[in-house]
Amino acid sequence: MSILAIDQGTTSSRALVLTDDLRIQSIAQHEIRQHFPNSGWVEHDPDEIWSSTAAVAREAIEKAGNPPLAAIGITNQRETTVVWDRRTGQPIHRAIVWQDRRTADTCAALKAEGHEPRVTETTGLLLDPYFSATKIAWILDHVDGARAAAERGDLAFGTVDSWLIWRLTDGLCHLTDATNASRTMLYDIRAGEWSDEMCALFRVPRAMLPEVRDCAGSFGEARPDLFGRAVPIMGVAGDQQAATVGQACFDPGMTKATYGTGCFALLNTGDRPVWSQNRLLTTIAYRLNGRPTYALEGSIFVAGAVVQWLRDGLGVIASADETQALAERADPAQDLVLVPAFTGLGAPHWRPDARGAIFGLTRSTGPAELARAALQSVGHQTRDLIEAMRADGATVESAVLRVDGGMTRSDWTMQFLADILGVPVDRPRITETTALGAAYLAGLGAGLCPEPAEFQKVWTLDRRFSPLMPEDERAARHDRWQRAVACTI
């Protein structure tokens, strides 16, 4: 029997078929379009999200030789907000993507009114347009008749997992898991339920919200016409939490960083939430058998997206793979610093109004120097997150960072990351950790995969990058970075 892992991300929809012992049999991927109707706005077409997901799932199954499927696992871009009509199943607006900043003024006003401490105490999050709550309210306020329809119970809200579950089950199941719920700014992460107080604050009718379940368990069945027979959906987690599971970070103190469109570092804090004093997020890492495990999270809005900018915005590269070779050719005498605040700065700064800046330009600056500065920006931002975690008193086990995501294929980037952090960076043999986590959760829910302690033994190292940079150079480089961020802010 095989497991279908659906990985619906910000720039593409992907599907993997894995054996029941979690060996990858096939992969399929389709890019999806991003829409930018205004500065700082980012949208997706929910129907394209669904159609691309269905297409890659069928393609992956065919590539694998149409094996019998035991279960489906879903992992997804988090916070991205879809609102649809329960009767017709049609979205009433494009999906508002997690990167979108259109509700920055709303968040600033709520912060000025003194609401942020209570929001953080309840949800573990900060008042920021990143999260779903203000996106939902914006749709209800800007689509004719939407608020009244929501109050009547005619509209459904979901993060992308809920939207896919709805479509997979032909509208029979309106569900989410605890990790995705914890990213909406509407969920009480200690009580383990939707917060009426937060719903009232953000003007979101409770009737719109999905039922919240564990990460491993039943989420309905995919309708038979999709994959030849009804297949149970048995695992769901937001992409960063799925990567945490896929990296086998089940012990308190273990840390992983995933480098996709953005970068997200999660530190397992066990069965107790740690409340950050350095503007990190307190979130749910996973919930199994009704018991939540918590994490500290730092979110970087732009990681792999900076390489996309080099390719699509500036046209200095034709493909992402060229970036490493360019960086290696860069003039070592030029101290270029790029702060990629294209959609604001994430943790630990949380400045949605910040915009990107380049420091140290000279007449001889060219594509190679830009490429190097772009890749280095990812390492510097990661160091900011790890330092904030340590400042919060969280134990970072054995001072090793486990990494995954597309950017980890670049040895140059991973070596710089180790150098600027001053700690080893471990890249696993299986770098598809987000999909692996979704598949594991589905297999666990279906009774095919072992408990976490046994799954940890499966994790294997591909390569460890040890720091080589002298301490004085490391300190000087990061000082330049911090001064550049301060100027940007």
**Positions at the binding site for ATP:** 10-12, 261, 304, 308, 406
Cis omega (within 30 of 0) on the bond before 348? yes
Annotated binding-site residue numbers: 10-12, 14, 78-79, 130, 239-240, 261, 304, 308, 406
The residue written with tokens 């199954």 in the block is: 61
CA max distance for the chain: 64
Asked if 32 contacts 48 with a C-beta cutoff of 8 angstroms, the reply is yes
Secondary element (H or E) of residue 485: helix 471-488
Tokens of 431: 């770098």
Using alpha carbons, list the distances in angstroms from residue 220 to 80, 141, 440: 22, 32, 17
Asked if 252 contacts 274 with a C-beta cutoff of 8 angstroms, the reply is no
3-state secondary structure labels for all residues of 431-471: CCHHHHHHHHHHHHHCCCCCCHHHHHHHCCEEEEECCCCCH
Distance CA(362)–CA(479), nearest Å, equals 20
Annotated binding-site residue numbers for glycerol: 78-79, 130, 239-240
The single-letter DSSP state of residue 172 is S
Q: Please, what is the angle between helix 471-488 and helix 367-391, to 10°?
A: 90
Annotated binding-site residue numbers for sn-glycerol 3-phosphate: 10, 78-79, 130, 239
Distance CA(343)–CA(273), nearest Å, equals 28
Distance CA(164)–CA(180), nearest Å, equals 13
Tokens of 297: 């999270």
Annotated binding-site residue numbers for ADP: 10, 14, 261, 304, 406
Distance CA(188)–CA(124), nearest Å, equals 8
Tokens of 356: 């990107």
Burial code (b: 16+ CB inside 10 Å, e: under 16) for 423-459 equals bebbbbebbbbbbbbbbbbbbbbbebbeebeebeeeb
Using alpha carbons, list the distances in angstroms from residue 466 to 327, 377, 401, 433: 19, 19, 11, 21
Distance CA(199)–CA(210), nearest Å, equals 13
